[in-house]
Amino acid sequence: MSEARLTELRQLFIARYDELRTKLARRLGSIELASEALQDTWLKLSVAKAAAEVLNPRSYLLRTALNVAIDTKRSERRHLSAVEIESLIEFPDEAPGPGRVAEGRSSIRRLESILAELPPRQRKILLAARLDNMPRQEIADRLGISLRLVSKELREAQEYCLERRDEMDE
């Protein structure tokens, strides 16, 4: 398209602005979106150096403005709405705070020291049953002792750990 034809297209745009806005608003359902699309269309026409030959200038202008509006809607869908941003800001941080981390580490150290006080077989039985979730019969088979002895040792180990914990808390 020659510079003269581009100038004619710009003049037609100015002369038919209200008509284009009305048609565009009907198609888009929003006068504001139609006005924004026409403003962006004008900016495109202002910076254009040349364009392809246009058979129907009014249709070309309307189609260009529609394409601009569609592009605008697509780009807005990629952005978060104010409500979505607000919900992200209010999202609670479930990570424990420094105080809770220190408290947890202290509890682990206390438990380790209590477990160290247990006789080796009781410690093995307690860890296998409670930490590894191993069935008592399997523990008995591994250690070569009776199921009854495993139950007795486990009960004694748990009672000892609870007593020592209570003593440390006092």
- From first to last of the 170 residues of the chain, give the pLDDT tens digit: 577 778 888 898 899 999 999 998 998 888 988 899 999 888 888 877 666 677 888 888 888 898 888 888 887 766 777 777 777 677 677 788 899 999 999 999 999 999 999 999 999 999 999 999 999 999 999 999 999 999 999 999 999 999 998 888 87
pTM assigned to the model: 0.46
Got the DSSP string for the chain?
Answer: --HHHHHHHHHHHHHTHHHHHHHHHHHHT-HHHHHHHHHHHHHHHHH-S-----S-HHHHHHHHHHHHHHHHHHHHHTSPPHHHHHHHHT----SPPHHHHHHHHHHHHHHHHHHHHS-HHHHHHHIIIIIS---HHHHHHHHT--HHHHHHHHHHHHHHHHHHHHHHH-
Query: Which of 98, 87, 3, 100 lies closest to 45, judged by CA?
Result: 3
Going from the N-terminus, what domains does the chain have, and what CATH number goes with each? 3-83 (1.10.1740), 98-169 (1.10.10.10)
Q: What is the pLDDT of residue 51?
A: 61
Q: What is the pLDDT of residue 147?
A: 94
